[in-house]
Structure 1
Amino acid sequence: MDVQQFLIRIDAISVWVGKAAAWLIIGLMTLVCIEVFKRYIMNMPTAWIFDVSNMFYGTLFMLAGAYALAQNAHVRGDFLYSSLRPRIQATLDLLLYILFFLPGVAALIYAGYHYAGLSWRIGEHSTVTAEGPPIYYFKTVIPVAGVLVLIQGLAEIARCILCLRTGEWPRRLKDVEDIDVVAEQLAHSEHIDAQTREAAIQRAQDIDRAARQRGRGGDIET
């Protein structure tokens, strides 16, 4: 297995975890709907749903961190970055990963481990509401998410090093994006002719490509 394949394997793990965590959205939506119905229709509010909803959202947010990093989807101020050559981009990224990312994530894992350990030892429950649910399971997600982000971050550091050597960004695993959904909908639309459809798809792809142009290498479809 070469380095490129190894990086794609790490991407695949992060993408799988992110997609698995995305199912929490359904649970979160269900809980909110139940609470709204019970509170405003039956006048029987449920205190624990507030805590559980927060835990669902927090878990989704934390576990999606590695996924977003794998998809190069974290917010960046790239009005200058996108115009730089790949080697300069890689140099900046590598410096930022070493100076800020690694210490920050290491601190998150260290603090999260002790934070979760203490919560398990005392059998911690939420104090936001009366008879709050246990939260030591939720706090365990903190170091777990930190480890996942660290692994993906090491893969990104490896990508920077490869780019410095070759002058090109290595490929990454690409997930379905909004523009893909738009293109799929247009492709099956019966309300426009084929020529207009193709032109609209191409125009949408050009706009998306221009907006995302960062010189980040090719993509491999999931």
Structure 2
Amino acid sequence: MPRLIRAYVRSVDKISDYVGYLAASLIFFMGATLLLDAVTRNVLNIPVHWAIELTQFTLAAYYFMGGPITLKNNSHVRMDLWYANLSDRGKAKMDLVTVWCMIFYLGVMLVGSISSLQYAIQTNEKRFSMWNPSVIPIKALLTVCLVLMLLQAFALVFKHIATLRGKSL
């Protein structure tokens, strides 16, 4: 494979790792937020109304940010009825076909997320709750993570082509 493609795959894999490890650290933040909510609500009898909603936003960020590393590490769920019995070249052929379906899906999702983000910015969209936070940051994160997933999907295309050629990236 050309040097530029190898550099692209290495760079996207590195970014996916970084974002994935950052996402994994969000678990500790969610745990601390829920612990704070439990203590203030049950021990101090002073409910913190924003804690649960902040945890929900953090969980969404965790989910979005975990997508690229899941693709990179081939950790996603798949139907192994036929796939498990295929050779490495057979798996690469099947993955090369299915990755284009995923790219189409991610492209449609990206268009929708951009539209949703634009609407949120134009209307200064907020959640209807006591805390009333803006949804712009989480929608922006969704858009960025979809771009990262698309970049990782194209890196997978290059990896599958390399496998079919008998090489690895």
Alignment TM-score, normalising by the size of structure 1 = 0.70
1:79 deviation in Å? 4.2
Q: Pick one of 55, 70, 73 that aligns with 1:71.
A: 73
Q: Secondary structure at the match of 1:92?
A: helix
1:49 deviation in Å? 1.3
Alignment of 1:1-222 (within 5 A): 1=3, 3-98=5-100, 100-127=101-128, 129-166=129-166, 170-171=168-169
Alignment-mate amino acid for residue 70 of structure 2: A
Q: Secondary structure at the match of 1:80?
A: helix
- Cα distance between partner residues in 1 of 2:40 and 2:146: 36
**Count of aligned pairs between the two proteins:** 167
- What runs of 5+ residues in structure 1 fail to find an aligned partner? 172-222
Aligned residues with identical type, % of pairs: 23
CA contact 1:124–1:136 (8 Å) conserved in 2? yes
CA contact 1:18–1:67 (8 Å) conserved in 2? yes
Partner of 1:196: none
Q: Secondary structure at the match of 2:66?
A: helix
1:103 deviation in Å? 1.2
Alignment TM-score, normalising by the size of structure 2 = 0.91
- Cα distance between partner residues in 2 of 1:9 and 1:141: 20
Q: Higher relative contact order at CA 8 Å, sep ≥6: structure 1 or structure 2?
A: 2
Alignment-mate amino acid for residue 12 of structure 2: I
- Choose 1 or 2 for highest CA Rg: 1
User: Which digits, 9 at most, give the CA deviation of each residue in 1:10-46, with x for residues without a partner?
Assistant: 2111001111222222211111000001111122212
Structure holding more helix per residue: 2
User: Which digits, 9 at most, give the CA deviation of each residue in 1:77-119, with x for residues without a partner?
Assistant: 2243122112211111111111x20111001111001111111
